[in-house]
Amino acid sequence: MSESAIQANRSLGSVCVLGLGRTGYDVGRYLLGLPKGRVSSVTVFGGASSTVGGTTRELEALGAVVHVGTEEVSGSFDLAIASPGIPESSDFLASARAHATEVIGEPELAWRESPHDWVAITGTNGKTTTTLLTQALLAQGGLDAACVGNIGTPTIDAVEDRPAGRWLVAELSSFQLEETRLLHPRCACLLNITPDHIEWHGSLEAYAAAKEKVFANLTDGDLAVIGDTDDRCRAAAGRQRARGLRTLVVDVERDPGGPHAAFVRGGVLVVRIDGVEHVLLRADELRIRGAHNVENALAAASMALELGVSAEDASVGLRAFNPIEHRIEPCGAVGGVHFVNDSKATNPDSVEKALTAFDQGRIVLLLGGHDKGLDLDPLARSVASRARVAVCFGDAGARLAQACATEGMGKDRVLVADRLRDAFKAAVSAACPGDTVLLSPACSSFDEFHDMGERGRLFKRLVSDLAASREGIR
């Protein structure tokens, strides 16, 4: 029996699950559906804010023991599986470690249950686009592939009834990677590392280390794909090379050299693997805008080519790929003003990249939301350089406005609003024909919305209402 088969069929013993959100529920349901003998018991600790409800009753009916309203783990367990929202430094996780032989996350469990044909993608920005692109290119090349992980479908859900030959293309956050131990994808990608989620990890160094764990178990037959946009990624690439891994560097500005590289030459995307060059399409044929999306396309194409997709099929797939919802998503024009929904831009670096996709001085930018306490100075410099007007709103509005003012943007260029609706009205009033009103907030949405999707949908609805009213732009 192969090592993978042994891993997937071993006994898990007594298991506790931490958290009662979607991940906790799906993990609990999966464990309770395993063949008799693989799991001796399943105990769920819902967390301090959890309460009795339909989820708890369903898990109990399937055979779980459920504890709500507590982060105190009691009992003795062979394995604990933590939901990704539980911080590494939390008392909840510490309690689990004191009562379980091993603590892992949900993607780690999924890999152990089905440890073959994985692609793993991480980075501060661009993960979702690159994940969807990779899946689309694999499909264009005739391979069965499914997107899983942070993109919306828990990886454990894809393990159940997984057909032979299906690739799992997993978008993995730093939270999810933190609790990995054996996860071993065939291709792993780290796009970039910029400050984000510092309050969760405790430091930028810890955040970067969690991201780099995506390469931890790669061997010399695998491929590590790494962006060349920041010093931390460049250092990570050096460490992978020092281990003897095939390390492909993605650089949109120059050919980084070496046998493994992805770059733009004469306006054309080129991928080199094992010294063999694959010439793809022109960058201006992509429907997704901005230099960062060229980087995403190169990363996705590199992994698809490594897995056997032809250069012709990769080019067809890239040419056909449309912008995804909430990520530089065009959502109409009214009175000559274009509206773009980039609600997924929840950190400053993502906004800086988005600003490069539009004409300098013709952007009316909506910034704001929940303040994560990140350094705003680099963002403010980019906003002052590229945007004509910035409308700052939400909890972070005042701090964003102050940062932009410090970079020389006067009162005529910096507006402040309480909520997104008010910011939208101000942006419409400030916009002129030929401008782009860009929602690219640089902040999470939790001061006003359930998530960034709700925020983006409201923006699009406001655009639709504006178009329907025919009041237009001044």
Three-state SS letters, 23-39: HHHHHHHHHHCCCCCCE
Backbone angles phi, psi at 319, to 5 degrees: -65, -30
Q: Which tokens go with 272? A: 């080199």
Which CATH code is given to the segment(s) 329-466?
3.90.190.20
Q: Are 140 and 314 in contact (CB under 8 A)?
A: yes
As annotated, the residues of the chain forming the CATH 3.90.190.20 domain(s) are: 329-466
Rounded Cα distance, 305 and 134, in Å? 10
Per-residue pLDDT 10s for the chain (474 aa) are 344 444 556 899 999 999 998 899 999 999 999 998 999 999 999 999 999 999 999 999 999 999 999 999 999 999 999 998 788 889 999 999 999 999 999 999 999 999 999 999 999 888 989 999 999 999 999 999 999 998 878 899 999 889 999 999 999 998 899 899 999 999 999 999 987 666 656 788 988 999 999 999 999 999 999 999 899 999 999 999 999 999 999 999 999 999 999 999 999 999 999 999 999 999 999 999 888 899 999 999 999 999 999 999 999 999 999 888 888 888 999 999 999 999 999 989 889 989 988 889 999 999 999 988 888 999 999 999 999 999 999 999 999 999 999 999 999 999 999 999 999 999 999 999 999 999 999 999 999 999 999 999 999 999 999 999 865 554
Stated pTM of the model = 0.78
Rounded Cα distance, 110 and 129, in Å? 22
- The residues near 419 (Cβ < 8 Å, ≥ 6 apart) are 393, 394, 448
- The residues near 338 (Cβ < 8 Å, ≥ 6 apart) are 330, 332, 435, 436, 437
Tell me the one-letter amino acid at 87: P
Please give the pLDDT value at position 3.
43
Please give the pLDDT value at position 473.
52
- Residues marked as binding? 123-129
- Residues marked as binding for ATP? 123-129
Q: Which tokens go with 143? A: 């391979």
Rounded Cα distance, 235 and 199, in Å? 23
Tell me the three-class secondary structure of the chain, residue by residue. Answer: CCHHHHHHHCCCEEEEEECCCHHHHHHHHHHHCCCCCCEEEEEEECECCCCCCHHHHHHHHHCCEEECCECCCCCCECEEEECCCCCCCCHHHHHHHHHECCEEEHHHHHHHHCCCCEEEEECCCCHHHHHHHHHHHHHHCCCCEEEEECCCCCHHHHHCCCCCCCEEEEECCHHHHHCCCCCCCCEEEECCCCCCCHHHHCCHHHHHHHHHHHHCCCCCCCEEEEECCCHHHHHHHHHHHHCCCEEEEEECCCCCCCCCEEEEECCEEEEEECCEEEEEEEHHHCCCCCHHHHHHHHHHHHHHHHCCCCHHHHHHHHHHCCCCCCCCEEEEEECCEEEEECCCCCCHHHHHHHHCCCCCCCEEEEEECECCCCCCHHHHHHHHHHCCEEEEECCCHHHHHHHHHHCCCCCCCEEEECCHHHHHHHHHHHCCCCCEEEECCCCECCCCCCCHHHHHHHHHHHHHHHHHHCCCCC
As annotated, the residues of the chain forming the CATH 3.40.1190.10 domain(s) are: 114-320
The distance from CA 384 to its chain's CA centroid, rounded to whole angstroms, is 27
Tokens 């080519």 map to which residue? 305
* Residue range 114-320 in CATH 3.40.50.1860: no
Rounded Cα distance, 142 and 162, in Å? 17
Which CATH code is given to the segment(s) 12-106?
3.40.50.720
Please give the pLDDT value at position 197.
62
As annotated, the residues of the chain forming the CATH 3.40.50.720 domain(s) are: 12-106
Q: Which tokens go with 149? A: 């992980």
Please give the pLDDT value at position 387.
97
